Each structure stands twice: as C-alpha cells, then as structure tokens.
Amino acid sequence: MGKIIVMTSGKGGVGKTTSSAAFATGLALRGFKTVVIDFDVGLRNLDLVMGCERRVVFDFINVINGEAKLSQALIKDKRIENLYILPTSQTRDKDALTKEGVEKVLNELTKEFDYVLCDSPAGIERGALMSLYFADHAIIVTNPEVSSVRDSDRILGVLNSRSRRAEQGLEPVTQQLLLTRYDPERVERGEMLKVDDVLEILAIPLLGVIPESQAVLRASNVGMPVILDEASNAGQAYTDSVSRFLGEDVEHRFVTPQKKGLFSRLLRRTA
C-alpha cells in the first residue's frame, strides 16, 4: 500500500510545483514507483514543469468523472523509470474535485505506486483541502518571508483539524518543513529570516533547505525537474531532502554563505 504525500504551503508562488516535480523525480530515481498529481484544477502547470505538456490527453478530472480510465490519463515520464504524472484539467473548475472521486482515484493509485505525491494549489479552498485530506505525510513549502510563514502555520492548523487522519482520530499527518528560496548571504546581513527562526515559529522538523538558485528557472524553462540538474545547488539540496525523507541522516548544505575567492568577488558572479 503506497503512501500519500501532499506538497502544500497555503501561499502561492513559494515553489510547491517545483518541489513536487523535484521530489517525485527524486523518489523515482531512488527506485520507488511514484506518481505526482496536479490538484490545481483550472491552473494546470505541473505538466509544464515536468515537460510533458504536449502529451496530456486525459486528466485527473476525466478519471474522477469516469470519462477515462486511470491508465489512459497517467503519463509515463520519458527520462525516469518508475515516474508518472497525472495532470489536471485546464478547463473545469475546482468543484469537479469531489471527496469520493478523489478517494477512488487515490485508492487505485496507492495499490500500484509506492508514493502518490499531491501537488496542492495555493489557498485553503476546495482544491487545497482535497489535496491534503487523504495525506499520510505533508511537506510544507515555505519561503523565509513573513506572509509565507504565516500561511504555512495556517495550513498546519488545517492539516491538524480537517484532514482525514484528524477527522477519524487516526495518527496525525506527519509534517516536515521544506524551506525554499533561502539566501544565506541575505540571512547573514540580517535581511532574511534564518532557518532556525522559521523552525522556532512553525515548530515542525526540517526536511531541507533549498537555496535561491538560478537553476530553478533554467530547469522550468526547459521542462526538466531541477533535481536532474545535478551540478546545481538547488538540485543537490532536493536530492538531500529526498534522502532525509527516506529516513537517512544527511547534513544540511547551502545554509551558510559560500566563501568566494578574490577572482569571483571581483567579477561579482552569482550562483
């Protein structure tokens, strides 16, 4: 029986889809059969980030409505074995996500996959609630910035009160923090919240810190999950995070400013 993970944040634009794509790819690279589902009905983007936008025929909503079989809607990744994408509808609205429908699809997926990763939309409306309702694990994507931290706290409250596990009095959804767009140099200058500050406020375990990196935009430009850019800091940080998710003890990297040589300082090169 596979595990359901939700990638959520409350606030938009913090890197949920980027992280979902990277994480799903990372899990598949480790040999786990993984599917990543886009829950952002009407604002589909996971397909673009994963680079499979031209292969979408049927979607999640078609499957919920019985208009297509699950096997018809699942897109197999061309690069990575064991990795599948379930895109969402670009035309329907989020009312198409019914609890029964989502449950049916997730039940079918957990039979076949080791991990089902749900990419949540922003907000705490239906789409977001449906994406987290059935979750076993939650990864809270947060930027070191006041509005993102506050919204993350809000979504943690929702997870603790309105998820299936909370409603049925089961073991609570495990929660881990993924701090993205972290800029150690700005932190050192006192311009950005420190990792420890965010951890103190949100009080959940740290899964990983993803440094601010130009590689993220480069990767999404070409439809490649950034974890596949093994030379980049962000890619390596995601790989470490996946290892930690799987229970390995990996030291955190990229949380302090990198020492720059005289040459690069003169040239003012970044990342």
Partner 1 sequence: MSIFNFFRAAARPSAVQAKERLQIVMAHERAGRTGPDYLPMLQQELLSVIAKYIDIDQNKVEVKLDRGGDCSTLELNIELPSRDAVKAPKDPGKPAAKPGDAKPVGGSANGKAGDKDDEDEDDSSEPVKLAAGGNALTNGGIKKRR
Burial tier of 247 (Cβ tally within 10 Å: 0-12, 13-18, 19+) = exposed
The count of chain residues that interact with partner 1, using the rule CB under 8 A, is: 18
Query: Rounded to the nearest whole angstrom, what is the least distance from the CB of residue 209 to partner 1 in the complex?
Result: 15
Q: Please state, in angstroms and rounded to a whole number, the distance separating the CA atoms of residues 224 and 90.
A: 21
Query: Rounded to the nearest whole angstrom, what is the least distance from the CB of residue 146 to partner 1 in the complex?
Result: 5
Query: Rounded to the nearest whole angstrom, what is the least distance from the CB of residue 8 to partner 1 in the complex?
Result: 17
Query: Rounded to the nearest whole angstrom, what is the least distance from the CB of residue 147 to partner 1 in the complex?
Result: 10
Near partner 1 in 173-192, by CB under 8 A: 187, 189-192
Q: Report which of 43, 56, 42, 46 is spatially closest to residue 7, judged by C-alpha positions.
A: 46
Torsion of CA 154, 165, 249, 83, to 10 degrees: -100
Choice between 48 and 201, CB closer to partner 1 = 201
Q: Please state, in angstroms and rounded to a whole number, the distance separating the CA atoms of residues 137 and 105.
A: 18
Member of 5, 86, 193, 224 binding partner 1 (CB under 8 A):
193
Interaction between residue 197 and partner 1 (CB under 8 A): yes
Choice between 114 and 153, CB closer to partner 1 = 153
Interaction between residue 261 and partner 1 (CB under 8 A): no
Q: Report which of 217, 215, 212, 214 is spatially closest to residue 255, judged by C-alpha positions.
A: 212
Phi, psi of 240 (to 5 degrees): -60, -40
DSSP strand pairing (75-76 vs 83-86): antiparallel
Choice between 161 and 168, CB closer to partner 1 = 161
Query: Rounded to the nearest whole angstrom, what is the least distance from the CB of residue 82 to partner 1 in the complex?
Result: 40
Near partner 1 in 141-160, by CB under 8 A: 145-146, 149-150, 153-154, 157
Interaction between residue 201 and partner 1 (CB under 8 A): yes
Query: Rounded to the nearest whole angstrom, what is the least distance from the CB of residue 130 to partner 1 in the complex?
Result: 21
Query: Rounded to the nearest whole angstrom, what is the least distance from the CB of residue 233 to partner 1 in the complex?
Result: 21
Member of 3, 92, 137, 194 binding partner 1 (CB under 8 A):
194
Q: Which residues sit at the interface with partner 1, rule CB under 8 A?
A: 145-146, 149-150, 153-154, 157, 161, 187, 189-194, 197, 200-201
